[in-house]
Each structure stands twice: as C-alpha cells, then as structure tokens.
Structure 1
C-alpha cells in the first residue's frame, strides 16, 4: 500500500485552519454542566473472575443526561490505593468486551477504567452493554451521521460527555488518586481522548493513538474508507447539506479540542493509514496546546504501533506522572 498523504517533513509543519464555531466553548460548558446536574448513580460491583493478578469490577456510571454507562474497572490484585488511573476509550464499533482483554494497565500498577461506547459493541470484539436511548433524524448506516444536522443532536455529543463523566467517576473511587488520572484510546478512542483531555481539568496525561474524528473537512472525501465514508454517503443523498454538516462536525473536531488540551500528550500516527490519514492526525497534533510528542510508524496502516505503542505509552506515563 503506497503512502497517500504529505511527506513527513510536510506533516510536521501541517497546521491548517480548522473550522471552529464561535460558541464552541459555551456549547461544551453547557453540555458538561447539564450532564453533571442530571446526576445519576455510580455502581461498582466486584466480579468473580478466573484472573488472579487483577481484581475486576463491573462499573455503571452516569453519562450524558444521566444515562447509565457501563465500564470495567481493573485493579492490581489486593491493591488498596490510592493508585494512578488510566481511563481508556474504545475503537469504532467495539464494546467494552471482557475483562481479560484489558490486563495491561492494571498489570503495570494502574487503576484502569475501560469505558463502553454507547450504542456500539456489535461490530467486532466481545460485545458491549450500553444502549443509546436518544433518537436521531435520518442517517446513513453506522454512527457518524446520527443527528448530524445539528450539534445538540449529534451522536458524539453524548459519547464525548460520557468520557468526561467517566473521568469524574473514576476520581471518586477510594482506590484512585484523583490528582493522577490519564486518558487514552486508539482510533475512535483517540478522538474521544482528545475531547476528554480538553473538557476535563487536571489530567496528568493524554495518549491519543492514531486518532479518528480529526480535521473532518480534509478527512471526508480524502479517504474512501469507512467510517468517514459514512459522511460521504450521507452527503451524496442529502445534496446541499454540506455546510450544515460541516458546521455540526466542527463542534466535535479533535483539532479544536487539541487547541484546548494542556495535559502532556503522546500521540501516534501511521504514515500508511488510509482510515485516519496522517495529515488529519498531524492537524490535531500540531494544534495541541500542551507539551506533546508523537510516535511515527512509517510502514503501518491503521493498526499503527499496537503493543509497541503501549510500551511507549507506559514509559511516557511513568515518566510524566510517576
């Protein structure tokens, strides 16, 4: 597969103008305040498990509009804390799966909260358990165009709010040091990470891995891969909706969140990535407001660095927030 994007020197200088609504900050302040005001119950139940090196807890926390959101909490076996914590977000179409799929961070000594993504969990993996009870207008198959005609209705308004509330929830746990919380995720999870990093105060680190949901105006139509292609399909049918759709997406663009995120960050990018083109990742990286670094995988597609990137993240986090 050939490289399809700018050269690496060009990517490192790529800092495009990003469409940004004038009320971006007010929109998100009102959204998060509304979710917090909605309340809801945090439930943490220990789960019997064959795992011996970690303790497993089934978590339900209040997300957007107080909706119950599922998560797994894994702790090093017998740990009393307070522990540094990592909140992780998943890739597109996947659910929280099974606890045995999420052992690395707890094995490294962290409290690890892995958030289910509302409405997803039936595309791959071992499934999810969180519905999305909010309806939308016309959309193409998938999640990218649900409610895309208005930012208040857009699907990712709910998901990004869930992510902030996941950080809120983990900070209340007795086993967690609330002052040492990091966020991470790959692909869709990387885009969610950027939103959480901008909308949550006091994080010690953000680790967006090959992030999706960045620089929409370049990504939509630049790559013919899904999920961005869902937006192309929608616009091919809803002729004349382009400006309205792009205005909505600007409230959810990872580059706009990057401008507001200040926690130390470690990004990653794959130069042969046709799902999240490298220029869209660098658009967010080059706009990032806090100290940041990026791992570059020259010969990889969207899989990026995989376990190699996790090792880089573990070293980064240990040095950033010991």
Structure 2
C-alpha cells in the first residue's frame, strides 16, 4: 500500500506532537465565560429562496468581540415538534454554501443551520482589532498578540454559541443535535462538540486545525497550512520563537479539545491526505473518549470519499 504518513497501526497509537499550553483549560473556561456574557440579539430574516416543505431564513447573531455572524437556517414544515437539528460547517476560506444542499436533511425532518465563518467567504463580520499580521490566513491571526485574540478562538466560540442558540429554539429538541463538516468544517465540528458538550452526534470529515507542529515537521506547511511557513519566514526567520509559537497554537489545536466531546463520533479520514496529514487527524481522534468510529479510505486524500456522506446521513438519522 502506498504511504504518505505513518503506517496505520502507528496512526492508531499516535499521541500528537504539538505542545499543550499549561493553562489550556483556564484559557477555554475564560473564553466560554466571555461567550456566555454576549447578548446574541438573534434575528431571523426570511430568505428569497423557499421550497414547499421548508422555511428558509438568514439567521444573524452577535458573537464575541461584537461580530455579527450569519448562518443559513432551513426549518422543515409539517414535522412534529420538537425535532432534531444539524449544524454544518464549511471548508477553509469558504462559506455556508447554497440552500439546496441543506434540503436532504430538511426533507428528513431536521432543522439545518450552516454558519459562515467570520472573515471568510460568506456574510459574517470580522471585527479585527489584533496586533500583528493579518496576511495569508486565519491560523496566524493574533499569533503576535495575546492568545485571547487568536481568530480561531473566536470562530470556535461562534460555533458553540450558535449550537446553544439552536438548542434554545422551541422547534428543536436540544437533546437531538448533530454537527458535521469537512476540513476546516471538520475541525470546527470537533471544537463545537467539545465546547458545547450537549451535542449528541459528531461527524467530522478529515479535520483541519490539529497538531500544527506535526504538519511543520512533515514539511506539509503548504496549501491550507501555508501560512505557518509565511509566519516563520516573515516574523521568526531563525526560529528563535518556535517553541513559543507552537505552544500558542496549542490553544486552538483540536487534539486538546477532543477529550471534552461527549456525543458519539463518526469520523472520515483518507490515508493519502497531504492537505491535513492523517497523523494530525489521528492525534485528535485518539484523544476522544466518547463512543467513536473511524471510516478509513486508504487510497483517498483531501477529497470526496465514496459512500461517506451516506454513512453520515444514516448516523444522523439515529437522532
């Protein structure tokens, strides 16, 4: 079998490489306190796009640091209340996608909520206000500022806050909420389920934002992780701060959030993934203590995996 990373048996035992900050738990406790103090000011605006069996809305709420966050919300009609819901998160730099790809779950009786990550390709607001570079990527946003200003801290909190908002909707059963997404969306799926532990079903697909130092040491700081190379070249060309930088990235490393997940997990990984190397994904998966299952595609990389979305639909239907 061709191999990009470690042999599978080693991957199943891999414990991660990136350092964990000593105050990691205090960091996220403080972050969640900030999130809970925000007046979300939720607004639903009827969309121009409508279908006979569901109502479609643009949903807006205020996240941490005053950013106005947008999501697409599809609510099925003629379904017994309360019903299950699924949150969807998109890939890096993208957006919530078209309305039509939400309809499969709506037709099955789910409310569907797809968030635009702040500052990326959708309509969510990025309030900025950080010291240091904003060039070439969101992983490094805030890396030269205080850890509380890391942009992915805010994006992870947006996801958790949105999950809480959805759980408070009268039409949604708070005990039947799932989350899913590919790549960046897979990373946010892990973070959302970790920071909002009431989530019952968790389906990340080749998750991004895991084990940054492993990415660097594999010489895979390109494509989605290119900004790590950019940061070192511009701001630490002799790597005198390397340990500090990777430790700071540890605050937004999903391998350290994964143990908080309480919902059941179904994760898809391709062993030829050069965008998010398999070992980085296993670093997070191996730390999940909840019920979990891994769907492995030996010949596939960062791409569509035959049958995986069908498996995820069946997984979510158990809600």
Measured against the shorter chain, the TM-score band is over 0.9
Residues 120-269 of structure 1 mapped to structure 2, 5 A cutoff: 120-121=120-121, 128-136=122-130, 137-149=132-144, 150-222=146-218, 223-239=220-236, 240-269=240-269
The alignment's TM-score, normalised by the length of structure 2, stands at 0.92
CA distance in 1, matches of 2:304, 2:5: 16
Q: What corresponds to 1:314 in structure 2?
A: 313
Q: 1:53 to 1:305 in 2, by over 3 A?
A: farther
Displacement, 1:29? Answer: 1.4
CA distance in 2, matches of 1:201, 1:285: 16
Q: 1:46 to 1:200 in 2, by over 3 A?
A: same
CA distance in 2, matches of 1:271, 1:133: 37
State the 4+ residue runs in structure 1 displaced beyond 3 angstroms. 77-80
CA distance in 2, matches of 1:294, 1:147: 33
Displacement, 1:164? Answer: 0.7
CA distance in 2, matches of 1:73, 1:64: 21
The alignment's TM-score, normalised by the length of structure 1, stands at 0.91
Uncovered stretches (5+) of structure 1, i.e. residues with no partner: 122-127
Uncovered stretches (5+) of structure 2, i.e. residues with no partner: none
- Counting matched residue pairs gives 313
Displacement, 1:278? Answer: 0.7
Displacement, 1:66? Answer: 4.1
CA RMSD of superposed structures (Å): 1.9
Displacement, 1:3? Answer: 2.9
> Does the 8 Å contact 1:270/1:304 carry over to 2?
no
CA distance in 1, matches of 2:134, 2:246: 15
Q: Deviations over 1:172-219 (max 9, x none)?
A: 212111121111111001111111111113111111110000111101
Residues 83-122 of structure 1 mapped to structure 2, 5 A cutoff: 83-121=83-121
> Does the 8 Å contact 2:222/2:229 carry over to 1?
no
